[in-house]
Structure 1
Amino acid sequence: MIVSDGVLPLPTQMLGHNADPASRASWMADQFLPPEAFDWALNAVVVRSGDQIVLLDAGLGLDPNLNLPRAGQLIKRLEAADIDLTTVTDLVLTHLHMDHIGGLLVEGIKEKLRPDLRIHIPAAEAKFWEAPDFTRTNMPDGFPAALAATAKRFLAEYRSYLRLFDEKQEVAPGVVARRTGGHTPGHCVIRIASGDDALTFAGDAVFAVGFDHPDWYNGFEHDPEEAARVRIGLLRELSASGELLVATHLPFPSLGRVAVDGDKFRWAPMYWDY
């Protein structure tokens, strides 16, 4: 199940800070998007595998200091979908940016979680946030400090829940997390397979502009060149396999396939079947 955490308004420069401003503006116009800022989707995924219920990412949370009332909706929407937090056995975090972990820091949420909840992240991600490096990012003022503070608080509060892995971890039957790096050193993607069907939750490895311009650098990427390499490699994998893709910041419900289109990629969203 794909669940929306809401939307997060951000400057359009964040989609490609290494791009020529005129080219970026042209892409925005071609997509019928506003030129200065637009709403990024925030998506999470819930997976049932045998007797395990796995949550992929935890949303932004409801920090009143952020003044983002249209985001941080994940917990409320899980409840609306009759998903009780006490039944979640495993949580996989693609990385520790605050729009992926903030839901765990909402007052009263930790008390609702199982005491034996397993939170899976690559060891490289936990290590990075001990002394994060923002020198190659391109974020609005205040974001680096907020990201660092949120990750530090998360690691302090949930250290005993963490199940660290190096490169790959089977979280549940058919649910495998794989470290990609790039966006953050420990960023990971999660592949979900059942029979002949498979889906990859790509976290922040892929953004909407990444199909037409996979070499554009996102402002939140801590290693932009590596992030572009990861993005291109992942899109090539998915175009070859035909497997489904979901990503955090693709428009909800963010479910579709990838095709190669010359020296670019093409996003083919799924049609609703009801």
Structure 2
Amino acid sequence: MFIVDNAPPAAVQAPIDLVPSRYAVQVGDIEALVVSDGVLPLPTATMATNADPADLAVWLDRMYMPPDAFDWPLNVMVAKSGKQTILIDAGLGGQFPGFPRAGQFPQRLQAAGIPLESVTDVIITHMHMDHVGGLLVEGVKERLSPSVRIHVSATEVAFWTSPDFSQTVMPKPVPNVLRSTARSFYETYRDRLCIFEDRHEVAPGVTVRLTGGHTPGHSVVDLVSGGERLVFAGDAMFPVAFDHPEWHNGFEHDPEESARVRIGLFRELAENRGLLVAAHLPFPSVGRVAVDGDAFRWVPVIWDY
């Protein structure tokens, strides 16, 4: 059972968060915990690269968001199924300096009572730095079990041997850091990788499946147990996507395919009424999706504490 008390273990030296950045969800027999890795400030222009700037400005104002930059939430998840403890994505780490509010995953996981040593499996939705960087933090690899299995799609691994950024619209320094972080992740963990093709059951009721779009090997994770379901959607959608699923994000390597994947997942979730958690929806990022004309509507769950 996950420990969800507010006080960290005595051995934890990091400052205590005023608001514990974790949220527990039960999916049938699967215990899940959403953990905030912090926030990453980004220019708002990356939110909708194919939208009229005036339309984006109207949306930002309607959402009470600043016009020039916004805090991009960073969420990871832990799932316990049977005897397995599965980490889903690993946050930013320290590969891109200057973001003190990001890269919080290791200490927040420990504060939640989940030692890195207990992790049996890691699922990587894709190899962007804010999803694998946490595994490159000093001391993390040493604390992970030598037998830990790291699941990533074959398409994703192949893509990062020679990544294509021609359709992305990112801040200038970012592509080089993405390249170097993906390379470091692969070189550091290549002997622990469990590479799958299209779909792979990691643990009972925990399945990772290839979607493509955001990156060619981008994947989502399905938790299904006891008639209940939850999808951890990685970077398939962002806050603006509910109102404007056709708007492209600057970090998408195939924007047109990303929009198709996003709309397909929205429709799937609206039909099956499953829970949604995504890496960049505001923490705790737990809710459902409803159809709203040609767009969609985010329905946050009521906080069950």
Name the TM-score class by shorter chain: over 0.9
Q: Give matches, 1:47-66, under 5 Å.
A: 47-63=79-95, 66=97
- 2:275 equivalent to 1:214: no
1:158 aligns with 2:153: no
Q: Once the two structures are superposed, what CA deviation does each residue of 1:217-272 show, in whole Å capped at 9, x if it has no partner? A: 00000000000000000000000110000000000000000000000000000111
Look up the SS of the partner of 2:213 in the other structure.
Answer: coil
- 2:117 equivalent among 76, 80, 86: 86
Task: Specify which of 269, 280, 303 is matched with residue 249 of structure 1.
Answer: 280
Tell me by how many angstroms 1:90 deviates: 0.3
Structure 1: tracts of 5 or more residues without a match: none
- Find out whether 1:137 has 2:171 as its counterpart: no
The corresponding residue for 2:62 is: 30
Alpha-carbon separation, structure 2, partners of 1:273 and 1:217:
34
User: Equivalents in 1 of 2:184, 2:286: separation in Å?
Assistant: 32
What secondary structure sits across from 2:189 in the alignment?
A: helix
1:116 aligned counterpart, secondary structure: coil
Name 2:291's counterpart in structure 1. Answer: 260
Aligned partner of 2:20 in structure 1 is none
Secondary structure at 1:76's aligned position in 2? helix
- Percentage identity across aligned positions? 60
Equivalent residue pairs, number: 273
Q: Helix, strand or coil: the match of 1:53?
A: strand
Structure 2: tracts of 5 or more residues without a match: 1-32
- TM superposition shift of 1:110: 0.6
Question: Is 1:121–2:152 an aligned residue pair?
Answer: yes
Q: Determine helix, strand or coil for the equivalent of 2:125.
A: coil
Q: Which amino acid aligns with 1:121?
A: V
Distance 2:299 2:46 in 1: 23
Runs of 4+ in 1 over 2 A off after TM superposition: none
* TM-score (normalizing by structure 2): 0.89
How big is the shift at 1:273? Answer: 2.1
Paired AA for residue 247 in structure 1: A
2:143 maps to 1:112: yes
Aligned partner of 2:262 among 215, 228, 231: 231
What's the TM-score once normalised by structure 1's chain length? 0.99
Q: Which residue of 1 aligns with 2:177?
A: 146
Choose the corresponding residue for 1:2, options 23, 34, 58: 34
